[in-house]
A and B are shown apart, each in its own frame.
Chain A
């Protein structure tokens, strides 16, 4: 069996038992990438030579009996907004096209310590702003289940890479659904941990109160493995939570018996396609049969989550992206005087969606509009958080579709920003409330396109969420989905 068909956990075990060598694993993935990458276009930068060298190093260390870490020799793809020392980190933007970070993000440091091997940096919507990866300044990525369709976004490259088995594991970032929605579109697992659980040090900032790094994997077990490695307190991130990481043993034991599951009424309503609703409810039935207690629950402020998010996130972005001024790194367009230089640089360096959000955020924060937009949105955010707190008094886990619609065609929504924003209605509330949530395939629709189910947990109770996710995967007879391509 070719290595690329194995799960990350199987790979790690086989490598440790010396049944397969890190070099063989790397070669298998390189072969797979050569075969499918021209169709999928998941990667902005491939680091195959470096990966081969690192595989050799791990192999030597393994042979000399060294403890080489939990993911020794296992390849991983990294979203291109996570800083990797010596490897370009572009955020899929012209403004950072030639940026080579002088340091590793904390998650990259942790992955290297665990022996993982970076095989490339993945495509994304520019600065993680978008839901289809069409906002990449370089090229769109294609959904492996239907190459005419988008992989979702903004971590579309990471999701497509894992879906097409161009990598067993990937990291993405999730500000309003950017891990979960592409995972749903590409038929894989995508997990956004609680805000503060995974260090953001070295993640290029989009909206700092919402951004969170997390795993994209082919199954829940691999997700647990990767989460376990990256979930560490980090003094380099002042929002990092000093809370111990749950043990692997605990997270790897499925639990569904007696778990109280709430179906979120508002996220099965208007705008959610019938077939998606049915697919998710059918998937929930398997959990009920396995012993979960299922009921409906209402979170009345969720219909306000979308405008609330699209005020807060662009406001934070307009501030965060002020650093791209043509001085310290990135593109500079020469002009007469410093302000014209800033303005020309930013005009040429940013794409349409990034400019749109900077404009929206700058407007919402500007004199005379701050109270009506930004402050109002912060208050609505408090109401949404309160809704979740209430719901979690009676339920352990909340459930909804991940995306209200199946993967759409490339070009279908790109000219209508509001329509594109609607793709995030089910995932956004989770970021506003800083909760952990995971998307897992529910099955395929009548066109053979993946549907995703979202499980939402209590803050810092990732262990319970992942245990239920494992049980769900075992209980759903339609999983795993067939590997596309």
Chain B
């Protein structure tokens, strides 16, 4: 496996919406490389004929009746919001003028 560069770490951090400090970028570049090196072991196993296991218990198509249930009152649903107004969460401006 190719080594992860600092630029790639910056790119992954952006994808994950993390603003890392310079120090963290250095640390994660070093640590993620060590971790991925140790995990290269996985590549030794031949798995061409193996179906990936994405559902661990045999449950499929779990449906619920399409009936309205109880829901939280607006005040409670908004109680933990950093900023809210009436029925809304307030976020920084998203659309430019």
Contacts and interface: CB of A to CB of B under 8 A. Distances in A.
Interface string B79-92: 11111000001011
Contacts of B72: 102-103
A338 B9 CA distance: 22
Contacts of B47: 376, 379-380, 383
Interface residues of B, number: 50
Interface string A88-103: 0000000000111011
Contact of A239 (B32, B57, B77): B57
Contacts of B68: none
B34 A355 contact: no
A382 B42 contact: no
Contacts, number: 155
A343 B52 contact: no
A100 B79 contact: yes
B63 to A, nearest CB: 9
A355 B20 contact: yes
A180 B1 CA distance: 34
- For chain A, the bracket of interface size reads 35 or more
Interface in A342-388: 342-344, 346-347, 350, 352, 355-356, 358-360, 362-363, 366, 372-373, 375-383, 385
B38 A418 contact: yes
Given A241-B59, A318-B16, A417-B35, A383 B50 contact: yes
A340 interface: yes
Contact of B17 (A235, A346, A417): A346
A296 interface: no
B97 interface: no
B74 to A, nearest CB: 11
A377 to B, nearest CB: 7
Nearest to B82: A332
A376 B39 CA distance: 11
A346 B18 contact: yes
Given A310-B35, A328-B89, A363-B4, A378 B54 contact: yes
Contact of A327 (B4, B50, B77, B89): B89
Contact of B57 (A310, A347, A434): A434
A356 B28 contact: yes
Interface of B: 1, 4, 8-9, 12-21, 24, 28, 31-32, 34-35, 38-39, 41-43, 45, 47, 50-54, 56-57, 59, 62, 64, 72, 76-77, 79-83, 89, 91-94
Given A238-B62, A241-B59, A328-B89, 10 more contacts: A239-B57, A239-B62, A304-B45, A331-B82, A336-B92, A341-B92, A359-B16, A378-B54, A382-B52, A383-B50
Interface of A: 98-100, 102-103, 194-196, 209, 235, 238-239, 241, 301, 303-304, 307-308, 310-311, 318, 322, 325-332, 334-344, 346-347, 350, 352, 355-356, 358-360, 362-363, 366, 372-373, 375-383, 385, 417-418, 433-434, 459
User: What are the 8 tightest A-B residue pairs by CB atom distance, in nearest-first order?
Assistant: A378-B52, A329-B80, A332-B82, A307-B39, A343-B19, A382-B53, A379-B47, A434-B56
